[in-house]
Structures are given as C-alpha cells and as structure tokens.
C-alpha cells in the first residue's frame, strides 16, 4: 500500500497536472479534489490475480500477469469516487527514458463495459472510499516490467500517483486464444510452460542417454534475469510483443559470441576458469550469475546447456518451449544442404577441405507460436537454437524455423530453414578429388543424418521420438522430393538430376463456395498432360486440420492415388472427405489443408499443390413477420439448423441493431443433433428509416454462425 505526498495547490485548474509533493490546503473546497491515498495491486501468490494468470509459482512478490487477460486492483481515495463527476485512468510505462530504446507509454481509460482487444478498466466494486478495478490488457501487448501511475481527475484538478515500486510484470499468455503463443491443450501447457523439470537426451543413436535438468524458470531472480537479458538485445520494446522476434533475440543472447550473452562456449579439453559443461544440472545458477554480474558471460556451455537455458528463458517469459535432441546431426558450412566429405585419390580424408561435420547428437529447442509472417500451415513448433554454429543475418543465432517447412523441404521460408534442414535430412556425399582438381561422387548415404529426434513426453519422463515431424520416412518418395526441393535453393542446385521436361500440371479445384460443415467435403484434383506421350505417377494426398492462425493440428486422412495419363489428356479425379472422417478433428474457426505431391515416373518431374479451404457454417435466417413501424411491436423469427450429428452445448444467441441501445442475450441451452431452432423475438423500433438487425450464435462446437436482415422502419 503506497502513501502519496502532494504539493501545495492553489486555484487548481482541472487541466493542470499536480505532481506528488506535500498537500496542504486551507480552502473550503478540499473535498472536491480526488486524491489517491493508496493502491493495492493484489499481488500475493495465492491471490486471485496470480492464480488466474498461472503465475503463482514465480518466487517474485510482484504482480505478474499474462497479457490478454483481466487482472484486478484496489484504489483508495481521499473521499468516495463519484462516477458522474470524477474520472480515472492508469498510465503504464515500459522501459526507461533512453533515446536508444525510448520505451512504451499506455493510457488505460475507465469504461462502463470491458471489450476484448483493448486497454480498458472498469469498476467492479465500490466500498466507501475504495474501488476495485478490473483491468483489461491487450493479447498483443509488449511483455516486460511496466511502471504504474494512477491518474485521478476531478473538478478541482488532475493528480498523479506513481505506484513505485509496485511494478507489473507482463508475460506471454498460452492460455489466451488471441495470443500468438496460444496452446489449446492444458496438459501441454503444464508441460511446456509450467514444468520446471525436464529431460535432455544425449549419446549416440544406438546408445541414447538422458539427464534431468532443472529449468528453474520460477526461482528467485530468474524473471528479472530474463528481462535484463531482453534489454541487452538492442531491439525496440515495441517488438517485445512478437514471439517470433523475442525467440530469435533469445537464441542470439543465450550465447556470448557477439553480444556478451549468457554462456561462453567451450569444446576443448580444458575448462580452467569456469565450470565443465557436463557439471551443470540446471539453468538457475547460470542465469543468476549472469544477472548479478551485470552481464558477464558465464563459463562454459555446450549445446545441451544452451538448450536448457533457452528453455528456461522462454518458459519464464511465457512461450511454450521444449528441448529436442537430434542424433547424427549434420553441420552444413557451405549452404549446399548436403554433408560433404572430400577424399583424395587414395580415398583418404582431405581434412583441410572437409569442413562439414556430423555430431553424435545436438540439442536445440522448439517453441510454439503462430507464424503470421509465413504462409498458412507453418505455425506450431519452431526450431530455435542458441548454440553458436553459423552466422544468421550477422549474429550467431538460429530460428525460429518452422518444423513443417523443414519436413517439406521449403527452405526458402525464414528463418534459417536451410541450416536446420541439413541438420536433419541432408545426404552425406563422399567426393573424390582427381589429379586435375575435378570432383566425382563415389558414395552417397541417404539415410544416415537425423536419427531418433527426441524430446520428453508430456506428463512423464518417457522419451518421445518426433523424427516424423521433421521428415517423411527415410527413402520414401515424399522424403526424396523434400531433399531435391531443398537442394534447388542450396549452393549446389544441380546436384540432383533435374526433370527432363515439365509437361504435367496439377491443381485442386473447389466447386462454388465450397463444402458445408456437417456434410462431405468434395473437391477435384485436375491433372493435365501436355505431351504426346503417356505419363504415370503415384500421388500422395494428406489432409490436415488447421487453426485459423495457420497452425496445423492433426492429419485427418492420407492415401495414395495411382495416375495414368494418356497423351494430351486432362483428367479430373474426384476427391471426397466424409463428415465422419473429420467430425472428431474440428477446431474453433478451423480450416482444412489438402496437400498433394508426387513424381512423374517417365520425366522425374515433381508434382506438388496445396489448397486451404474452410467448411462453411450455416447462416442465421432472420425474417420479420410484419411491417416495422416506430413505436409498434415487431415480431421477428430467427432460425438455424444444427448441421452436425452431435449436440451443441450451451448455445447463446446475441441480437443487436434496429436502434437497440444494448445487446440482447438469449441463453438457449443445448441443441440436439440436426435439430432446427426457431426463436420468436419482439422488438419496438424507435427510429425510422433503413435499419439492420444482427444475430450471432455463440457455441464451442460450431463457430462463425451469424446473420442479418435489412429492415425498413416506417414512421408512426
């Protein structure tokens, strides 16, 4: 609880700012001033704020909240707050007054009704001179430590009440659907955000070892250390709202190579003056040492230590993160997307020319987020690697790299996709150098790189193999297509045979407005052979459920289609996804992504296409049953049919427009499968002319259901 001190004020103007000082007033109008006596941020660990925001585990006694979520606070005044004549707002400041990083200043106004997606607050309780405020934060607010000032307005003037040292710590929010780091599985949130103990795998692909690691993200000084680290990143605080930028910044700051970050690497046999990397068992001591030394790099780290510390920092800031180990991990140094080994005429290794290497194991991180900066389907798990291996845009950092792009060989997508692809799926190629200096391939290993990619299971210490997320089965046509697609962007683009001709085209066609939810989705795959010869191929199709944010969820169906095209033939292949195949995979505002790939047998041409489509929801039908006249009761019929073969739970209708001052809410309850709902609602128009009546249905099983009617209201 803070006690203010106010300056002497005379002839107070309502637009004049009165700064803290000593308050002395002899005028009879003292009671008209609204003075803030104290502020209680309700920051106790077992209180409502910390529990609801899943921040009760943090050691800190500060108010720690997650963005996009409401928190509460008490303000005590010198007299009762009068909503008619008094005003109130919060001023939040992120960062110090510095020209290099000027910080952010936010005004939070007092409103009657809170709306999502806005900085706002409302009074939810008033007791004598105290009011309890519910404060709404943006789901895209910059994270960090905000300084808080309460600003009060009355007829006699404006007063500022700084709440120092009661700062508010704002974090990313995986529980908030509008936050890019939203993760819809509670067990995964507990594992990848709240779990402070993990497992890191090491060894060889034949002998996989595991060690337990204490991420310590909630321990004393760790949150402060993580924010101290961000401040060293030389990135504008306005960018601290974006998990893509923050995770990329952290991948650079956890190593000390070019920015005096947390850990100094050491792969020698001598660790004098520091700690042997294998000795560390957690991140807490490392981050505290770094923070308390004002940014002196800690000695020493290797890949698993970098990954452990990165997990700690990102989980502490609220980004879902896990450690991932890749066995037989390649290090591509020349962007060829191959692991190249050079031999002399006697087939002996040419050491000074063989710069690529294969590590027994390498540990990096994956963090979960949407990627609005990339094509749909590339959200979800992203590789972030703090181990300094190669420069990325001038700094030793790597990622975030979409795992889905690595799997498909789409190495043209940012960030650092070629490097990660080579780590998990490059061919190991042996070259022999001839006397004239030319090179010839003498051996190729296509399935030795990237083995048993592993991470800890959700809710247990078991090891989970996630190799299938990074690449198709070794040797499969899809895996080979990914390798050859990636190689086109490397420094040796002609390494793999190019197709002799490209004479077959492929596209996915959707009829009309597309399929409706609750029915079968029917599309067509159209292939066209423009050559005078027969063409054959085997197409693989895979349809996946995708959130509206571009994050892929589940594979619904996959299969192969044999293709035989006659000369100059155009063939249309019907493709159907039945309702019973997708009904259990639907997600809120979800879409489907159909991917078709294959290779023409005669020419080796790669065929690939993709279509994102949504399942259209039914409209609410709004029908006025008589003419609309000002002052006369109007009956309107609203109908909707449940298109699903499942019950809709807790259906809520919202109706607004037609001159109504507020939204009408109708709690309807459950709607049986395939049932039709009819509402008969009565309205009394108050304004003549052309009006709109809007209606929407709120239901978890069926979203984006709405409708409207144009209604001309006649005068009395």
197-249 tens-digit pLDDT = 999 999 988 889 999 999 999 999 999 999 999 999 888 999 999 999 999 99
What percent of the residues of the chain are helix, what percent strand, and what percent coil, each to the nearest 5?
A: 15, 40, 45
Report whether pLDDT(29) > 60.
Answer: no
Q: Which domain holds residue 267?
A: 186-488
Residue carrying structure tokens 């510390």? 309
Report whether pLDDT(19) > 80.
Answer: no
Q: Which of 614, 645, 679 is the last residue of a domain?
A: 614
Assigned domain for 514 exists: yes
Angle 41-47-237 from CA coordinates, rounded to 5°: 50
The DSSP call for residue 267 is -
Please state, rounded to an integer, the average pLDDT across all residues of the chain.
Answer: 88
How far is Cα 170 from Cα 187, in angstroms, rounded to an integer?
23
Check if 362 is active-site: yes
0.85 exceeded by pTM: no
> Per-residue DSSP letters for 296-335?
PPEEEE-HHHHHHHHHHHHHHHT--EEEEEEEEEEE-SSS
Note the pLDDT of residue 101: 62
Query: In this structure, are 253 and 209 located in the same domain?
Result: yes
Query: In this structure, are 271 and 416 located in the same domain?
Result: yes
Assigned domain for 215 exists: yes
Report whether pLDDT(31) > 70.
Answer: no
How far is Cα 21 from Cα 367, in angstroms, rounded to an integer?
48
Check if 398 is active-site: no
3-state secondary structure of 135: strand
Using alpha carbons, select from 194, 590, 606, 579 the residue that is nearest to residue 408.
Answer: 606
Assigned domain for 437 exists: yes
CA within 13 Å, CB half, 12 = 26
Note the pLDDT of residue 355: 83
Please pick, among 86, 259, 340, 385, the residue that the annotation labels catalytic.
385
Position 178 confidence tier, pLDDT thresholds 50, 70, 90: very high
Helices (H) and strands (E) in the chain, counts: 11, 41
Query: In this structure, are 197 and 95 located in the same domain?
Result: no
Report whether pLDDT(40) > 60.
Answer: yes
Mean pLDDT of 483-490: 87
- Residues 351-374 have pLDDT tens digits of 778 888 888 899 999 999 999 999
Query: In this structure, are 467 and 542 located in the same domain?
Result: no
- Residues 122-138 have pLDDT tens digits of 999 999 999 999 999 99
Assigned domain for 399 exists: yes
Residues 6+ apart with CB under 8 A from 202: 208, 209, 210, 211, 304, 325, 361, 363
Q: Which of 488, 513, 533 is the last residue of a domain?
A: 488
Report whether pLDDT(96) > 90.
Answer: no
Query: In this structure, are 119 and 40 located in the same domain?
Result: yes
Position 340 confidence tier, pLDDT thresholds 50, 70, 90: confident
Please name every residue paired with 700 in a beta bridge, in sequence order, or none if there are none: none
Report whether pLDDT(665) > 80.
Answer: yes
CATH code, domain carrying 90 = 2.60.40.10
Assigned domain for 23 exists: no
Position 551 confidence tier, pLDDT thresholds 50, 70, 90: confident
Query: In this structure, are 303 and 446 located in the same domain?
Result: yes
Please pick, among 356, 362, 367, 416, the residue that the annotation labels catalytic.
362
Please pick, among 303, 323, 367, 398, the residue that the annotation labels catalytic.
303
| CB-CB contact of 638 with 622 (8 Å) | yes
Report whether pLDDT(10) > 70.
Answer: no
Assigned domain for 3 exists: no
The DSSP call for residue 620 is P
How far is Cα 297 from Cα 287, in angstroms, rounded to an integer?
10
CATH code, domain carrying 196 = 3.90.260.10
Q: Which residue has the higher pLDDT, 554 or 43?
A: 43
Assigned domain for 22 exists: no
Mean pLDDT of 688-693: 87
How far is Cα 144 from Cα 58, in angstroms, rounded to an integer?
15
Please report, in range form, the residues annotated as the binding site. Answer: 425, 427, 474, 479
Mean pLDDT of 434-439: 84
- Residues 702-715 have pLDDT tens digits of 877 888 889 999 98
Query: In this structure, are 445 and 594 located in the same domain?
Result: no
Q: How far is CA 593 from the centre of its chain?
A: 19
Please report, in range form, the residues annotated as the binding site for Ca(2+). Answer: 425, 427, 474, 479
Q: Which of 105, 138, 171 is the last residue of a domain?
A: 171
Query: In this structure, are 399 and 539 located in the same domain?
Result: no
Note the pLDDT of residue 351: 78
Percent of the chain clearing pLDDT 70 (strictly above): 94
Q: Which residue has the higher pLDDT, 456 or 258?
A: 456
Report whether pLDDT(107) > 50.
Answer: yes
Assigned domain for 12 exists: no
Report whether pLDDT(484) > 70.
Answer: yes
- Residues 589-636 have pLDDT tens digits of 668 889 998 999 999 898 888 888 888 888 889 999 999 898 888 999
Helix (H) or strand (E) holding 598: strand 591-599
Query: In this structure, are 370 and 421 located in the same domain?
Result: yes
Strands 401-402 and 395-396: unpaired
Query: In this structure, are 597 and 518 located in the same domain?
Result: yes
Note the pLDDT of residue 103: 83
Position 570 confidence tier, pLDDT thresholds 50, 70, 90: very high
Residues 6+ apart with CB under 8 A from 556: 543, 544, 545, 577, 581, 582, 585, 592
Helix (H) or strand (E) holding 477: helix 477-487
Token readout for 13 is 């103007």
Query: In this structure, are 147 and 57 located in the same domain?
Result: yes
Using alpha carbons, select from 246, 217, 216, 218 the residue that is nearest to residue 231.
Answer: 246
Note the pLDDT of residue 15: 39
Query: In this structure, are 243 and 388 located in the same domain?
Result: yes
Question: Number of structural domains, the chain?
Answer: 4
Check if 385 is active-site: yes
> Per-residue DSSP letters for 394-440?
TEE----EEHHHHHHT-TTSTTTHHHHHHHHH--EEEEEE-TTS-EE
């Amino acid at each position: 609880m803070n006690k203010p001190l106010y300056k002497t004020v005379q002839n107070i103007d309502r637009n004049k700012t009165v700064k803290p000082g000593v308050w002395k007033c002899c005028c009879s109008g003292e009671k008209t001033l609204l003075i803030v006596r104290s502020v209680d941020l309700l920051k106790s660990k077992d209180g409502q704020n910390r529990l609801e925001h899943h921040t009760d585990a943090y050691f800190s006694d500060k108010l720690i909240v997650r963005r996009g979520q409401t928190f509460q606070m008490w303000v005590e005044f010198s007299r009762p707050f009068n909503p008619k004549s008094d005003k109130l707002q919060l001023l939040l400041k992120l960062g110090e007054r510095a020209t290099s990083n000027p910080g952010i200043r936010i005004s939070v106004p007092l409103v009657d009704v809170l709306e999502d997606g806005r900085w706002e607050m409302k009074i939810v309780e008033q007791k004598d001179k105290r009011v309890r405020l519910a404060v709404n934060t943006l789901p895209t607010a910059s994270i960090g430590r905000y300084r808080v000032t309460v600003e009060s307005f009355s007829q006699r003037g404006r007063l500022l009440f700084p709440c120092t040292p009661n700062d508010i710590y704002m974090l990313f929010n995986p529980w908030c659907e509008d936050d890019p780091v939203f993760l819809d599985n509670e067990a995964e949130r507990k594992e990848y955000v709240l779990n402070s103990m993990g497992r890191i795998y090491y060894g060889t692909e034949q002998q996989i070892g595991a060690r337990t690691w204490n991420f310590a993200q909630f321990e004393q000084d760790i949150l402060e250390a993580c924010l101290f680290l961000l401040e060293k990143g030389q990135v504008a605080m306005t960018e601290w709202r974006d998990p893509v930028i923050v995770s990329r910044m952290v991948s650079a700051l956890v190593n000390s190579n070019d920015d005096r970050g947390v850990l100094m690497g050491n792969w020698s046999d001598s660790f004098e003056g520091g700690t042997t990397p294998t000795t560390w068992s957690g991140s807490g001591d490392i981050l505290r040492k770094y923070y308390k030394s004002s940014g002196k790099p800690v000695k020493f780290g290797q890949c698993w230590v970098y990954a452990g510390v990165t997990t700690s920092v990102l989980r502490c800031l609220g980004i879902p993160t896990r450690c991932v180990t890749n066995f037989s991990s390649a290090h591509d140094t020349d962007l060829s997307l191959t692991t190249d080994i050079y031999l002399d005429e006697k087939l002996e290794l040419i050491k000074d020319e063989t710069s690529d290497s294969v590590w027994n194991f390498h540990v990096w991180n994956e963090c979960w987020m949407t990627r609005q900066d990339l094509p749909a389907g590339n959200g979800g798990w992203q590789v972030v690697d703090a181990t300094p291996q190669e420069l990325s845009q001038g700094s030793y950092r790597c990622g975030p790299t979409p795992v889905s792009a690595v799997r498909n060989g789409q190495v043209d997508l940012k960030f650092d996709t070629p490097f990660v692809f080579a780590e998990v799926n490059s061919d190991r190629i042996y070259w022999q150098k001839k006397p004239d200096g030319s090179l010839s391939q003498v051996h190729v290993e296509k399935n030795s790189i990237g083995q048993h990619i592993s991470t800890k299971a959700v809710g247990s210490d078991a090891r989970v193999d996630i190799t299938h997320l990074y690449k198709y089965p070794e040797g499969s046509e899809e895996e080979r297509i990914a390798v050859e697609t990636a190689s086109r962007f490397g420094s040796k683009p002609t390494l793999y045979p190019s197709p002799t001709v490209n004479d077959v085209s492929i596209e996915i066609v959707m009829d009309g407005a597309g399929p409706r939810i609750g029915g079968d989705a029917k599309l067509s795959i159209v292939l066209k052979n423009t050559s005078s010869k027969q063409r054959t191929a085997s197409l693989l199709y895979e349809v996946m459920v995708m959130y509206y944010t571009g994050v892929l969820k589940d594979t619904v169906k996959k299969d192969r289609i044999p293709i035989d095209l006659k000369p100059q033939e155009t063939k249309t292949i019907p493709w159907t996804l039945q309702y019973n195949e997708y009904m259990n995979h639907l997600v809120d505002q979800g879409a489907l992504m159909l991917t078709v790939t294959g290779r023409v047998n005669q020419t080796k041409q790669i065929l690939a296409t993709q279509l994102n489509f949504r399942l259209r929801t039914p409209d609410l039908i709004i029908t006025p049953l008589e003419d609309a006249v000002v002052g006369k009761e109007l009956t309107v019929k609203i109908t909707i049919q449940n298109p699903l073969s499942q019950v809709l739970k807790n259906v809520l209708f919202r109706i607004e427009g037609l001159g109504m001052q507020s939204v009408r809410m109708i709690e309807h309850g459950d709607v049986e499968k395939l049932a039709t709902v009819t509402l008969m609602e009565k309205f009394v128009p108050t304004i003549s002319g052309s009006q709109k009546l809007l209606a929407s249905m709120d239901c978890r099983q069926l979203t984006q259901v709405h409708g409207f009617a144009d209604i001309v209201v006649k005068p009395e």
